[in-house]
Amino acid sequence: MAIRRKLILGGALLAAMALAFPIVAKHSAATAAPRPEEHPVIHQALDQLRGTREILEKEAAHDFKGHRVAAIKHIDAAIEELKLALASAK
């Protein structure tokens, strides 16, 4: 039963993130600073991750039994990895 609950909550979180993607993409496009031509996909991913993190922090209905916080931590880790990838490409 606990596994099923985790799967349902995880699916709900993924669905919320998928629904938020168009909002994040619109927000990112409107507020994104001009990027250098190198590695545009990584810069786009960073913008989208930051926007998704902001949505989860400010607009999530509740904590989803800690899964929202866990998702934010994973997003932070992904952001750091992408920053390291950009630094290593220099």
Domain limits for position 32: 2-88
- Residue 85: predicted pLDDT: 94
pLDDT, one tens digit per residue, over 29-83 is: 555 555 557 899 999 999 999 999 999 999 999 899 999 999 999 999 999 999 9
Domains held by the chain: number: 1
Helix locations, the chain, DSSP H: 2-31, 40-59, 67-88
Give Cα 19 to chain centroid, integer Å.
12
